Homo-oligomer: A and B are copies of this chain.
C-alpha cells in the first residue's frame, strides 16, 4: 500500500473557519459568497441601540473597498494602494503587525482605471494573501506578517493591475487581473499555496488551450439546452488578433463549491469600448464561468452580454445557493449583472433558469431570450447600430451598471438577495482608438445622469436619486422591496440571522434595515463615504459589525483623484462619473477608517 498523497488541508480549514460565525474568514463570509451570518445577537428589535465600539484610521486616503477579515479573533485590515495590511488585536485595538509592500506608484497608479482600490485579503494555510495593485501576489505569515512568498501575476507596464480579493481553494490561491481599459486579456490564475508557483491559468478569450475550454466537454447554454462547445468557440467570435488585446478581465469576486469542486466568477468588458472596432460576439468577455478548481478546465460558460456596446462588465459576484425553482430544488448560481439583469442558473451545468431586470429603468434590452440566452437589444440604445462618433443618449443603466462590484448578500431566512444598486443612465459616444501598450484603450466618451424612473415599474418619474437598495427573489426574478438612496450604494451588504441587513452609503452612513420589509432601523455617519463591504463577527461573546469607510472607487473618483475641477455636472472626467456624482463632495471627504459597531454593554 502506498501512502495517500498529502494534500493541503487549507480548503477544509477555511471551510471550518467560515462555518464558525465568530470568524469572517473570506470576502463572502463563506465559499458560496452569501455574505450571510448566523449571528443573531444584534437583531431587528435591538439594532436601533447599535453604536460604534471603536475605530481605526488606516492612514491611507482614497477608496477603501472590501472589508476586514476576522480569523480566530484577529482582525486583518487592508488598504488601497500602497496596500498596507494590519493585523489588529481586538482586545487592545492595537496593531500586532503591519506590512506594506514596495511598489512603484508611478508605474501602477496611472494604469488603475477606477481608483487605487483593493477589495481585500484571503486567508488560508496560516497565511494572509495580499493581491497587490502592481499585480504581485504576496503570502504573509498570519502570525508575524513576514512575507512567505511573492509572485508576479502580470505586468503593470502593459496596463495590468489588480484590485480583486484572491480566494484560497484547497492547495491553491486563485486570483484574476484588471486592465480592461488598457487592452489587457483577462485570465484567472491559480498559484500553489505553499510556493506561489503557477498551477493553471485560464484566459477569457483566445485559443482553447488558453481558455482551458475542452471542446465537446465544456458546455454553454444554447438552443434551450446545455450544449457542448465546439472547437475555438472564442476565436470564432473575434476579427483577426483583436482578442489578444480583447479585455474580458476578471477583477471581481470568486466563489467556490467544494462538492462540485468548481470555481465561479465573471469576465469583464471586451476592449475597446468602441464596439465597431471589434465585430463579433467577443467571446468569452462578459461571461459567467465555472472552472475545475484543480485544473482550471472549463465546466461551463455563459455569455450574458455578447458584443458589449456599453461597458457592462460581467465581473459581479456569483452567489451559490440551493433554491427551489418551479417546484424543483436546484443548486443555483445567482448573479446580478451590470447590464441590469439578475440571472439564476443551475451551477452544475450552466442551465439558464431566470433572467429578469432588477431595476425596471433598464432599457437597452427588451428581455433575455431564455432559449438562446441572449439579450434582445433595443436598436435605439445600440451604440454599434448608431455608429462611431454618434452620441447614443438615454441608455439605462449607465456604464457603471445597475450594480457594480459591491457584492449582494443572501438570507436563507427570507430567501431573498439584497442588492446594492445604481440608478443612472448615460450618453455614450464611441470613437476610433488605436492600441498602445500600457496606454488607455477606451474609445468612448461618456456622460451619466440620474435614471429618473421608478425601479419597480421603469416609469419616468423625475427622481434624482442615483441608487437604491433592493430585495430580490432569485427563484422568480422579482423585486420584493426597494429603498431609494440619494447616491449609488457602492458598499456590499451583509444579512444576518438577526433578521437585519447592513450596508453603507456613499455619504458615509452605515445602515441597518429589516430583512423582511426594508424598513430602516439604524444609521450612523462614519467618517467618510462607504464603498467597503459590511462584515460581522463575534469576539468574546459579543457580535460586532465592521465596515471600512473611505470614499473612492469609480463612483467616488472625482473626490479620490481630485478630478472635480469645479465645473458642472456635464464634466465627463472619470468616464462620466465626476459629473454624475459631483454633489457627493458636499457630503464626504477622503479618509480610510474601520468603524466597528456593537450593542452597548
Chain A residues at the B interface, C-beta cutoff of 8 Å? 49, 51-52, 54-59, 61, 86, 93-95, 507-508, 524-528, 549-550, 559, 585-593, 595, 600
Contacts and interface: CB of A to CB of B under 8 A. Distances in A.
Most buried by B among A56, A94, A550, A591: A591
A588 B54 contact: no
A55 B524 CA distance: 9
A93 to B, nearest CB: 5
A51 B51 contact: yes
Nearest to A96: B586
Closest 6 CB pairs of A and B: A57-B591, A59-B589, A57-B527, A59-B590, A57-B528, A54-B525
Nearest to A594: B527
A524 B54 contact: yes
A591 B59 contact: yes
A487 to B, nearest CB: 12
Contacts of A526: 55
19 contacts: A49-B600, A51-B51, A54-B524, A55-B55, A55-B527, A57-B527, A57-B549, A57-B588, A59-B61, A59-B590, A86-B589, A93-B587, A94-B507, A94-B586, A94-B587, A95-B586, A95-B587, A527-B591, A527-B593
Contacts of A94: 507, 586-587
A86 B595 CA distance: 23
Contact of A55 (B51, B95, B525, B586): B525
Nearest to A590: B59
Most buried by B among A55, A550, A585: A55
Contacts of A507: 94
Nearest to A592: B591
B589 A591 contact: no
Nearest to A601: B48
Nearest to A55: B527
A488 B19 CA distance: 44
A252 to B, nearest CB: 27
Nearest to A525: B54
B524 A52 contact: yes
Contact of A93 (B57, B59, B525): B525
Nearest to A551: B57
A593 B590 contact: no
A407 to B, nearest CB: 24
A61 B61 contact: yes
Contacts of A527: 55-57, 527, 591, 593, 595
A398 to B, nearest CB: 24
A507 B528 CA distance: 21
A137 to B, nearest CB: 24
A585 B95 contact: yes
Contacts of A595: 55, 527
A591 B60 CA distance: 7
Contact of A593 (B51, B54, B559, B591): B591
Contacts of A550: 57
Contacts of A508: 55, 57
Given A57-B591, A58-B589, 12 more contacts: A49-B600, A51-B600, A54-B524, A55-B526, A57-B528, A57-B589, A57-B590, A57-B593, A59-B559, A527-B595, A591-B591, A591-B592
Contacts of A524: 52, 54
A52 to B, nearest CB: 5
A526 B526 CA distance: 11
A525 B595 CA distance: 10
Nearest to A51: B51
A105 to B, nearest CB: 14
Contacts of A61: 59, 61
Nearest to A79: B589
A595 B315 CA distance: 37
A289 B591 CA distance: 40
A313 to B, nearest CB: 29
B95 A56 contact: no
A100 to B, nearest CB: 11
A56 B592 contact: no
A64 to B, nearest CB: 11
Nearest to A527: B57
Contacts of A57: 508, 527-528, 549-550, 588-591, 593
A397 B51 CA distance: 40
A94 B586 CA distance: 6
